Amino acid sequence: MASRVLGLVLARWAMRTPAQLAPAITTALTSRALFHGETARRQADVVSTPNSTTAPSYSPASGPVLAAAVAAAAPRTTWTKDEISEIYNTPLMELVFDAASLHRRFHNPAAVQMCTLMNIKTGGCSENCSYCAQSSRYQTGLKATKLSAVDEVLEAARVAKENGSSRFCMGAAWRDMRGRKSNLRNIVEMVKGVRAMGMEACVTLGMIDKAQAEQLKEAGLTAYNHNLDTSREHYPSVITSRTYDERIETIGNVRVAGINVCTGGILGLGEKAEDHVGLIYTVATMPSHPESFPVNTLVPIKGTPLGDSNPIAFDAVVRTIATARLVLPASIIRLAAGRISMTEEKQMMCFMAGANAIFTGEKMLTTDCSGWDEDKAMFNRWGLKPMESDNKGSDVTAAGAEAEARQFSATG
């Protein structure tokens, strides 16, 4: 009860000036620490279960960090791993409540962005991502195809818009765009066509350089997806054909061009809780936060190295979403691959924890997806509505991108 009251008070404080806010935060931190000092003694140790990243028993030291996160008036990029870890390891129900409180100050809690994803070029990828059905290195039964025709893609976008989607995402299974000038020209026409419909356009094409990013920007591209997948430390266990820094370089090229960045990860790759923290830390310490942060859960594909993996525990999914919301307050957090396996109640828990976007439609890239009618019916039952397109996050600057490139060049 004390935590609930404190959360409501903190939300009101956010409307005050910094001078008014400082003494109030000091009082709150003191009260919160006293409350946690009294209740923590009654906290039972959490029992770990197989493949679970459930947090360890709670430490009262987490209180001030979490309280400051809830009281934030704007995103910050000075997070430490220890701070993010303290938030992540907060008792789950309190963590979700505080994430929901912050979410309501930065976003309309009833609005969920509806995105539709189309695979415009399937399979034949030279990468060795351990989870991916589209790698040419694995026998998954997937047939490789050439790039889809522009008219076919735009017809799919029209159907998506008619069904309520505001963002149309196009994915091609390539390592990079080197030597693909004609394909890039066709993709530019796809982007222009989607934007002409009044929809946001997003693509994921593998690694791109600055010149290619500029072409996509000129076409009107809203966002470019390039996931980090996991923490820097766990990454070599999942992929060896592309480095972590190569992914960060592509993100920098996208940001330099003034395109919104969409980058997140996949849960269930054999990682530990600290890898969820590490992923969020990498994203949160970029000079500006991404416009959107997709949270995927592994869909095991037979024939891939991770094809026999067990599902990740749901508490780890919620904990990651809630932590990302508190650390990335202005970013859109997207429930991506794996959502179809969640019950409606689990999805609502994710929305409460701060998720506010989904993929909806006929299919993901190679896996099934919840359909428009199913999602709209779910929205109606729970009082949710589609988010309107507003090019959220369009204040990305080239200066911020250059700073990002310098930062990771120095630390890489």
Annotate 362-408 with DSSP letters as a single string: SB-SSSB---HHHHHHHHHHHT-EEPPP--TTTT--HHHHHHHHHHH
Distance, in Å, from the CA atom of 138 to the CA atom of 132, rounded to the nearest integer, reads 9
User: What is the DSSP-derived secondary structure letter of residue 142?
Assistant: P
Cβ count near 412 (within 10 Å) = 12
Bridge partners (DSSP) listed for residue 123: none
Which one is catalytic: 334, 339, 350, 369?
334
Report H helices in 116-238.
Answer: 150-162, 181-196, 210-219
Give SS3 for 111. strand
Distance, in Å, from the CA atom of 394 to the CA atom of 260, rounded to the nearest integer, reads 6
Which one is catalytic: 180, 232, 255, 262?
262
Portions of the chain given CATH number 3.20.20.70:
111-411
Give SS3 for 250. helix
Task: Based on the residue annotation, tell me whether 202 is a catalytic residue of this protein.
Answer: yes
Q: What are phi and psi of 30, to 5 degrees?
A: -65, -45
Which one is catalytic: 115, 129, 350, 369?
129
Which one is catalytic: 32, 167, 169, 255?
169
Which one is catalytic: 32, 115, 202, 369?
202
Comparing C-alpha atoms, which of 99, 101, 120, 106 is closest to residue 169?
Answer: 120
Q: Which residue's structure tokens are 């020209």?
A: 185
Q: Which tokens go with 173?
A: 């299974």
Task: Based on the residue annotation, tell me whether 262 is a catalytic residue of this protein.
Answer: yes
Cβ count near 383 (within 10 Å) = 8
pLDDT by position in tens, the chain (length 412): 444 434 443 444 344 444 444 444 443 443 344 334 433 333 333 333 334 444 433 344 358 999 999 999 999 999 999 999 999 999 999 999 999 999 999 999 999 999 999 999 987 787 888 888 777 788 877 788 899 999 999 999 999 999 999 999 999 888 778 878 889 999 999 999 999 999 999 999 999 999 999 999 999 999 999 999 999 999 999 999 999 999 999 999 999 999 999 999 999 999 999 999 999 999 999 989 999 999 999 998 899 999 999 999 999 999 999 999 999 999 999 999 899 999 999 999 999 999 999 999 765 455 566 788 999 999 999 999 999 886 443 433 333 434 443 443 444 3
Task: Based on the residue annotation, tell me whether 350 is a catalytic residue of this protein.
Answer: no
Comparing C-alpha atoms, which of 319, 370, 385 is closest to residue 349?
Answer: 319
The Cα diameter of the chain in Å comes to: 66
Are 62 and 35 in contact by the 8 Å Cβ rule? The answer is no
Task: Based on the residue annotation, tell me whether 369 is a catalytic residue of this protein.
Answer: no
Are 188 and 154 in contact by the 8 Å Cβ rule? The answer is no
Q: What is the CB-side half-sphere exposure of residue 251 using CA atoms within 13 A?
A: 32
User: What is the DSSP-derived secondary structure letter of residue 368?
Assistant: B
Model pLDDT, residue 367 = 57
Comparing C-alpha atoms, which of 329, 331, 323 is closest to residue 294?
Answer: 331
Task: Based on the residue annotation, tell me whether 129 is a catalytic residue of this protein.
Answer: yes
Is 3.30.365.10 the CATH classification of the domain at 111-411?
A: no
Cα 116 off chain centre by: 15
Q: At what angle do helices 210-219 and 181-196 cross, to 10 degrees?
A: 30
Distance, in Å, from the CA atom of 276 to the CA atom of 84, rounded to the nearest integer, reads 10
Q: Which tokens go with 74?
A: 């704007």
Cα 319 off chain centre by: 13
* Strand pairing category for 292-297 and 385-386: unpaired
Comparing C-alpha atoms, which of 363, 368, 293 is closest to residue 333?
Answer: 293
